[in-house]
Structure 1
Amino acid sequence: MATLSHKTFGNESLEKWELVGHGGFGYVYKARHKGWGFDVAVKILHESVCPFKALCEEANCMDMASCEFVLRRYGTYQGCLPDGGTSIQQGIMMEFMERGSVQSLQKKLSGPPPWPLVFRLAHQVALGMNFLHSQNLMHQDLKPSNVLLNSDLNAKLADFGLARVSTSALNSNTETTGEIGGSYKYMPPEAFEPSYEPVRAFDVYSYGILLWSIAAGTEPYPMADYARVELRIPLGDRPLSKVFDQVKADGLEELIDLMTRCWDHSPLERPTFKKCVEVTENLLPKQPQEIHDAVGQVLKRLVQTVSPTSNRSNTSGAFNAPLQTPEQPTNDSVDFGRFQKIETSSTQDSACYSTKRMNNKDKAKFVDDNRAMLIQNVSEVMAIIEELGDMVHGETYSLIDAKATSREKMRALYDRTLRSGGEQVKAAFYDALKSHHPRLV
């Protein structure tokens, strides 16, 4: 039977619990360790989704990959969650990253961070992935939400739920699971083949797409569902590099060259992370003050974002502008191909609604009133369902996941969950929708 290393902590060690995230995998809490005097994160996985054996595997992968650029595990949690009844829960206790993730940073900034910070994030992720591969591990789910940020916006890799011992580093005849992990927008073309067995080149491709996302300040292919990505990526389509054509930044040309080499169609042509580190190290600002100024600029912006008086105090209008200004891909087209865009039939430009301080009743009314529009335009259906967590029954999740198109998925979600879910469920759907499709609300 698998065992967990490190010490086990219970409720006697933790206080001031706060739910900070949830999804189909389970829940993440922030808690204060009474003896240590600082906050930790506690990740609780649904037993039905991730049994104890898988929890052990994730914990062991974190221990093997422990370094400055990978999230640190402090130990194991075992106890009864606050307001969670009397059942014993198992979880992983790890570092709490104050600034969320690259994904949450993109949303708060409404665009990319300053270039010195872009280059540092690119380098730190490469360092973490290089160490991971040196330990014969793969990540298999490298994306903005799994690159976490501490108080000084330094990056650490997280979520090893999909990590596996690298098949390219083994000489044994051990059978592989055949599972294809990761978010589909970050999966390489070969991963869409049913018989694909992941190797390290999988992570390198994901890193290339991640670099584009960090530099552009947005997700790739904003309106593309799984079926469209599965069709177009093997044909050679990639995120548009021309969004950077009007940008002048020292090192940007080298960064674009690296990302395009990483997302090469042939796994054999993609560089190793050791080679990536050699490139990203040269992109770091020559003057330390440049990165200090960039971090300070972003942190000030984040403080303004949460300040109730920030909009009034900013009379210049600069608060809503991105910190750097590459041409942003619009959400009314799918940005595929290095030199092309594939147009969609989306009509979401006409679907902009006021969202000022809506309560749950208002959100539920919006979801009810705009059923047809949402079925037509929502593409990130499964990502939204992941955020709804237990609000979507497991059987319903499987039924929706089996649908071929995003419209069919949305129609099933309305019929099976939203129609009878009440205000709380509809409000949660609205909040998730605002996160994934802000222009629809």
Structure 2
Amino acid sequence: MANTTSVQYEPVAEIGGGAYGTVYKARDIESGQFVALKSVRVQTDQNGLPISTVREVALLRRLEQFDHPNVVRLMDVCATQRSDQETKVTLVFEHVDQDLKTYLERAPAPGLSPDCIKDLMRQLLCGLAFLHSNRVMHRDLKPENILVTSQGQVKLADFGLARIYSCHMALTPVVVTLWYRPPEVLLQSSYATPVDIWSTGCIFAEMFRRKPLFCGESEVDQLGKIFEVIGLPPEDEWPTDITLSRKNFPPLMPRPIADVVSEINEQGGKLLLNMLTFDPLKRISALNALEHPYFHDDETLTQTKS
């Protein structure tokens, strides 16, 4: 990791900000190309940067060598010591002009075509399968963290940085949207890569609906809205390592998915329910989702016609 400042990059505009710092669109002074600069403040220990941060950056750099088409490219990492207790790590990513949220908002009525949604979902799951096969969890998938190029190429962004952020998050009152959080995280139970599949399911539904699927105002309210769609899970699926009791929720039956996402076809509805499965161990994986008939029914039709 280069111990240099970001003098090579000239900020052009602020793209966004959050608890972790500000993201800028910047110009590489040498090449003239646009990049996205993301600065993260990391608490340092006696030996400099914590090993978890060094490991995370090393993993990001290793992923970059694969040059996966559906993962945003990490081009450079610069570290600047601000004080004995804090170091600023600047991550330099390729710049993409719009995210999925903007892409959905700009789509003319009545919204994205079923074929376009299928293509976006396939790309999103390809990127996710790649991350998960390298033991990287995204942990914060939402339309704002999925980039779409002008050619319609999907690129996952803001991934794999949760551990870099962890020490700083403890110091910041973070208000993150609950709407894409899976039940195991809302219940503060243990979690793994299936968290990203739940979020992807929420995004899948949103592409059809043009509005978020579950809009809770608190963690308990969010769970209530989820159970209104998928039903209250059985007692034997309720996590045992949590304080919130299943008895806090009314006994609800699942609603037909077509009532909630009216434009989705039958196979799409089945895939969505496989993603929005309460028990993370029973939730479909990204690799298996790519094999789902939803992605292959067009091919079957073509073969039948020929």
**Of the candidates 247, 254, 270, which is equivalent to residue 283 of structure 2?**
270
Distance (Å, rounded) in 2 between the aligned partners of 1:59 and 1:128: 19
Read off the aligned partner of 1:258 and give its amino acid letter.
L
Of 12, 33, 38, the match for 1:17: 12
C-alpha distance in 1, partners of 2:88/2:19? 16
Counterpart code for 1:128: G
Whole-angstrom CA distance in 2 between matches of 1:59 and 1:18 = 25
- Aligned pairs for 1:381-396 (under 5 A) are none
Taking structure 2 as the reference length, the TM-score comes to: 0.69
Separation in structure 2 between the aligned mates of residue 258 and residue 43 of structure 1, nearest angstrom: 34
* Residue 193 (structure 1) aligns with: 187
Higher helix share: 1
- DSSP-derived class of the 1:269 partner: coil
Asked whether 1:203 is paired with 2:196, we answer yes
Say if 2:147 and 2:155, in contact at 8 Å, map to a contact too.
yes
Structure 2 distance, partners of 1:238, 1:94, is: 42
Amino acid paired to 2:112: P
Deviation, 1:45, is 2.4
Q: Is the 8 A contact 2:24 2:36 kept in 1?
A: yes
Residue 126 (structure 2) pairs with residue 102 (structure 1): no
The alpha-carbon distance between structure 1 residues 25 and 163, as it changes in their structure 2 partners (threshold 3 A), is closer
Q: Spell out, residue by residue over 1:223-280, the C-alpha distance to the aligned partner (whole angstroms, 9 max, x if none).
A: 64333013453635789642443x4x7xx32222101111112223222211111236
Aligned to 2:72: 71
**Are 1:21 and 1:27, in contact at CA under 8 Å, matched by a contact in 2?**
yes
Larger Rg over CA atoms: 1
**Structure 2, gaps ≥5 residues long:** 164-174, 234-253, 301-306
Q: Compute the TM-score of the two structures, normalised by the length of structure 1.
A: 0.50
User: Aligned equivalents of 2:92 and 2:255: distance in 1?
Assistant: 37
Secondary structure at 2:200 match in 1: helix
Q: CA RMSD in A?
A: 3.5
Q: Distance in 1 between matches of 2:14 and 2:4?
A: 18
Q: Which of 296, 299, 302 does residue 282 from structure 1 map onto?
A: 296
Residue 128 of structure 1 is matched in structure 2 by 127
8 Å contact kept, 2:216–2:222: no
Does the CA contact (< 8 Å) of 1:119 and 1:284 recur in 2? no
As a proportion of its length, which structure holds more strand?
2
Identify the residue that residue 241 of structure 2 maps to in structure 1. Answer: none
Q: CA deviation at 1:39?
A: 0.4
Work out whether residues 69 and 124 of structure 1, in 8 Å CA contact, stay in contact via their aligned partners in 2.
yes
The structure-2 alpha-carbon separation of the partners of 1:188 and 1:11, relative to structure 1 and needing over 3 Å to count, comes to closer
Shift in Å, 1:11: 4.2
Residue 34 of structure 1: how far off its partner (Å): 2.1
Which residues of 2 match residues 277-356 of structure 1 at below 5 A? 277-279=290-292, 281-282=295-296
What's the offset of the Cα at 1:102? 0.9
Distance in structure 2 (CA, Å) of the matches to 1:70 and 1:253: 29
1:161 Cα deviation (Å)?
A: 5.1
Distance in 2, matches of 1:8 and 1:68, equals 29
Q: Separation in 2 of the partners of 1:63 and 1:268?
A: 30
Deviation per CA, 1:20-70: give whole Å up to 9, x if none: 11122211111111222210000012457xx96475455334334432111
CA distance in 2, matches of 1:238, 1:40: 45
28, 36, 39: which one pairs with 2:31?
36
Residue of structure 1 aligned with 2:58, choices 41, 56, 60: 60
Letter of the aligned partner of 1:131 in structure 2?
F
Structure 1 portions without partners, runs of 5+: 81-86, 165-180, 287-441
Residue 242 of structure 1 aligns with an amino acid whose one-letter code is D
CA–CA separation in structure 1 for the residues paired with 2:4 and 2:96? 19
How far apart are the structure 1 equivalents of 2:142 and 2:185?
A: 16
Between Structure 1 and Structure 2, how many residues are aligned? 252
Distance 1:38 1:133, change over 3 A: same
* Contact 1:69–1:128 (CA under 8 A) maintained in structure 2: yes
58 and 30 in structure 1: CA distance in 2 versus 1, 3 angstrom threshold: farther
Q: Secondary structure at the match of 1:19?
A: strand
Letter in 2 for 1:18: A
Contact 1:26 1:45 in 2 (8 A): yes
Give the conservation status (yes or no) of the 8 Å contact 2:15–2:24: yes
Supply the AA of the counterpart residue of 1:137.
Answer: V
Residue 26 of structure 1 is matched in structure 2 by: 21
Percent of pairs identical after alignment? 24
Q: Which amino acid aligns with 1:70?
A: V
